Structure 1
Amino acid sequence: MKDGDGPATPRLTDVAVLAGVSIATASRALSGTGTVSEGLTRRVMQAADELRYVVNPHARSLAGGFSSVIGLMVYEIDDPYFGEIAGGVIQVAAEHGWSVQVSHQDREAASDLAGVRLLRSQRVGAIVIAGSGYRDPTKNATVNRELEAFAASGGRLVAIGHRDIDCHSVLPDNVGATRAAAEHLIALGHRRLGVVSGPDSLTTVADRRTGIELAAAAADGVDVAWEHAAFTRDGGRLAAARLLDAHPDLTAIIALNDTMAIGALSVLRDRGIDVPGAVSVTGIDDIQVAQDLAPALTTVRLPMAAMGRQAALLALQPPAGGPTFVEVGLELVVRSSTAPPPA
């Protein structure tokens, strides 16, 4: 292992010889693929540590396999929802010797397709796609075919949310989340609700709309007005301003995520409308900053970091059997942005 210029870089062959196993066994033990006994895996790991051997994922991908990289596809990477999911994925990947490549997409099918093709060209070992699918099946079809081709070639595929694709999935309860928020406001006495919503073309929005409609249908005399904009703070500002202009009698606003709720709160503050004295506001997700707002935001907690961790664990499992569906819970978190409507 040495030449005249000093120590050579250790090779997989050296690890296999020191551990007393075949090269194929050493490779599977180090990559976590295939079936290798715990005892053999320990021997290989000890040999790799002794030799200071470092897996070269790029070399592995050039050899025709996959790299130990999870490709994480997200929208609005500056949105804390996706940031917390990414944190969960990165944590689990690091614990298993994998890295994460984040691919930021626009909320357009063409952008999704380009993102999947780029990750495939870079031979990532797994793809986790986080975020909503599209209500229009034709927009999902092309992207899903590319994802299914990746899985058929041996890649590991996990979706966070409903995407109408046959793969492991982590499923937040979007219907239950908005139903809990709406039921909270209705129980306080609100009957004129406004909804600050993301684009109507997304399945997440359709699911969250269903939750509000179920809550409203179960109560008497509840009117719900909707405004759609981007799933961003600026989108929340725009939609809230439109709601207040068109429906000045609203006593509560439900934002379909916390980032939009922050935009809505800023509009109410700019207009001198007291929260929650005149208008109550709720969000969905419970991003970390929600409790630090003034007033602190009532919202429905979805465990974003835990969703990311669960998705990464599913992505790292060797392919076996059919897809696994993991449903995650929710929790209504009541803070000071909601109160009974003004008398």
Structure 2
Amino acid sequence: MDAHPHVTLSDVARAAEVSLATASRALNGTTRVRSDLRERVLAAARELAYTPNAHAQALAGGTHHTVGVVCHDVSDPYFASIARGVMRVAGDKDLLVMLASTFRDPQKEIAYVSMLRAQRASAILLVGSGFEDRGWSRALSEELEPYRRGGGRVAVVSRHRNLRADSVQPDNKGGAAKLARTLLDLGHRRFTVLAGPRRLTTVVDRIAGFRQALAEAGVELSENDIVESTFTRDGGYTAMRQALDRGLDSTCVFAVTDVMAIGALTALRDAGVSVPDDVSLAGFDDIPVVRDLTPSLTTVALPLEQLGERAMELALRSDRGTRSRVVRVQADVVVRDSTKEVRA
């Protein structure tokens, strides 16, 4: 029977009544699956004519010149800027880019990777934070390893736990530490942090760097000083409202991503709180719009398009060895109008 081109790993998992991770492990031959579950998955795969390794023949023939980019949310300017860098390099190589947004759902990430294997993409790029989740990490590796063995190429942007792949890693921890030291130099000692979910490695690293630099200066950042919300503009607005509702006594708010800072700025304005006269505000990423805000946003700048370019170059490199290559990208503080000096 010929494989149906639209059958996905999700279809197989649904038919077998198992999770995506279990379906992935069963189809990729791992021993960590109960025999009855494996049989159910294999039977469903046969019934649906699902063939996850079909990409290998196509890669050998060199007929499919597509690159799959899996990101968290392409409407977020952070990911849009990185994707633009990917597309520039891919365009120079006459490669077609397929873009998928997971909206930070780890199961969707596994499903999209499986789909790209079935679509015979010649390279897969994972753009965005990994998840602090061992089960997800294992399932993702078990999708990517057979793909790599079949000639597929993989590169990631940001830290992914236990994933064997070339990676471009922005200095999230170091950049947040630099920002903390800059804000301390301005006289700030009381901080509120607006954070995304701490199952994301990027959030974990940025909080850790910020907290560590404060601690070195004798300033404690307690759990009560951190408000967790979604990693979006609306999440920033909601987190800022929560901090205001419980009585904001900080002199500075750090939003771990610029899009959250934009939401926070609106929440402060709606509450009649002036930035930076009543409270300073800082973000992270330096997405293009933040220099045009009123006030313009102090942030940590990453060369976003360059992150995408470097990831694409890693995926296309011809000197692939057994060891994964890591490209580290520096982050630098840019001070603008949303922060001001305070007197003790």
The bucket for the TM-score relative to the shorter chain is 0.7 to 0.9
Q: 1: distance between equivalents of 2:96 and 2:60?
A: 19
Q: 2:89 aligns with which of 92, 95, 107?
A: 92
- Kindly indicate whether the alpha-carbon contact (under 8 Å) linking 1:277 and 1:341 is maintained by their aligned counterparts in 2: no
Query: What is the TM-score with the length of structure 1 in the denominator?
Result: 0.80
Asked if 1:340 is matched to 2:341, the reply is: yes
Tell me which residue corresponds to 2:148. 151
Which runs of structure 2 are paired with 1:107-256 in the superposition (5 Å)?
A: 107-163=104-160, 164-224=162-222, 225-256=225-256
Q: 2: distance between equivalents of 1:214 and 1:333?
A: 20
Deviation at 1:222, TM superposition (A): 4.2
Structure 1 stretches lacking a partner, 5+ long: 1-57
Q: 1: distance between equivalents of 2:59 and 2:316?
A: 21
Q: 1: distance between equivalents of 2:331 and 2:309?
A: 16
Q: 1: distance between equivalents of 2:84 and 2:203?
A: 24
Deviation at 1:104, TM superposition (A): 1.2
Distance 1:63 1:145, change over 3 A: closer
Which runs of structure 2 are paired with 1:75-86 in the superposition (5 Å)?
A: 75-86=72-83
Deviation at 1:265, TM superposition (A): 0.3
Q: 2: distance between equivalents of 1:108 and 1:282?
A: 27
Letter in 2 for 1:288: P
More strand by share: 1
Tell me which residue corresponds to 1:18. none
Q: 1: distance between equivalents of 2:232 and 2:142?
A: 29
Moved more, 153-162 or 315-324: 315-324
Deviation at 1:150, TM superposition (A): 1.3
- Kindly indicate whether the alpha-carbon contact (under 8 Å) linking 2:187 and 2:343 is maintained by their aligned counterparts in 1: no
Deviation at 1:246, TM superposition (A): 2.3
Q: 1: distance between equivalents of 2:340 and 2:113?
A: 45
1:158 aligns to what SS in structure 2? strand
Distance 1:272 1:152, change over 3 A: same
Q: 1: distance between equivalents of 2:151 and 2:94?
A: 19
Q: 2: distance between equivalents of 1:191 and 1:317?
A: 47
- 1:33-57 per-residue CA deviation (whole Å, 9 max, x = no partner) reads xxxxxxxxxxxxxxxxxxxxxxxxx
Query: What is the TM-score with the length of structure 2 in the denominator?
Result: 0.79
- Kindly indicate whether the alpha-carbon contact (under 8 Å) linking 1:196 and 1:239 is maintained by their aligned counterparts in 2: yes
Q: 1: distance between equivalents of 2:255 and 2:155?
A: 27
Letter in 2 for 1:160: V
Tell me which residue corresponds to 1:21. none
- Kindly indicate whether the alpha-carbon contact (under 8 Å) linking 2:59 and 2:152 is maintained by their aligned counterparts in 1: no
What is the aligned length? 285
- 1:152-181 per-residue CA deviation (whole Å, 9 max, x = no partner) reads 211000011111211110000010111122
Letter in 2 for 1:291: R
Letter in 1 for 2:182: H
Q: 2: distance between equivalents of 1:186 and 1:70?
A: 44
Which runs of structure 2 are paired with 1:258-277 in the superposition (5 Å)?
A: 258-277=258-277
- Kindly indicate whether the alpha-carbon contact (under 8 Å) linking 1:233 and 1:263 is maintained by their aligned counterparts in 2: yes
Q: 1:74 aligns with which of 66, 71, 82?
A: 71
- Kindly indicate whether the alpha-carbon contact (under 8 Å) linking 1:168 and 1:323 is maintained by their aligned counterparts in 2: yes
Moved more, 213-222 or 270-279: 213-222
- Kindly indicate whether the alpha-carbon contact (under 8 Å) linking 1:216 and 1:222 is maintained by their aligned counterparts in 2: yes
2:147 aligns to what SS in structure 1? helix
- Kindly indicate whether the alpha-carbon contact (under 8 Å) linking 2:194 and 2:254 is maintained by their aligned counterparts in 1: yes
Deviation at 1:304, TM superposition (A): 0.9
- Kindly indicate whether the alpha-carbon contact (under 8 Å) linking 1:280 and 1:338 is maintained by their aligned counterparts in 2: yes
Q: 2: distance between equivalents of 1:82 and 1:161?
A: 12
CA RMSD for the aligned pairs? 1.8
- Kindly indicate whether the alpha-carbon contact (under 8 Å) linking 1:236 and 1:262 is maintained by their aligned counterparts in 2: yes
Structure 2 stretches lacking a partner, 5+ long: 1-54
- Kindly indicate whether the alpha-carbon contact (under 8 Å) linking 1:66 and 1:125 is maintained by their aligned counterparts in 2: no
- Kindly indicate whether the alpha-carbon contact (under 8 Å) linking 1:69 and 1:98 is maintained by their aligned counterparts in 2: yes
1:124 aligns to what SS in structure 2? coil
Q: 2: distance between equivalents of 1:247 and 1:194?
A: 11
- 1:274-320 per-residue CA deviation (whole Å, 9 max, x = no partner) reads 10011100000000001000000000001110010001111111352
Tell me which residue corresponds to 2:40. none
Q: 2: distance between equivalents of 1:167 and 1:247?
A: 45
Q: Which runs of 4+ in 1 moved over 6 A?
A: none
Deviation at 1:65, TM superposition (A): 4.9
- 1:215-245 per-residue CA deviation (whole Å, 9 max, x = no partner) reads 1111134445101111100000011111222
- Kindly indicate whether the alpha-carbon contact (under 8 Å) linking 2:72 and 2:128 is maintained by their aligned counterparts in 1: yes
Letter in 1 for 2:228: H
2:65 aligns to what SS in structure 1? strand
Letter in 2 for 1:84: S
Which protein shows a greater Rg?
1
Tell me which residue corresponds to 1:325. 326
2:286 aligns to what SS in structure 1? coil
Q: 1: distance between equivalents of 2:316 and 2:181?
A: 38
Deviation at 1:78, TM superposition (A): 0.5
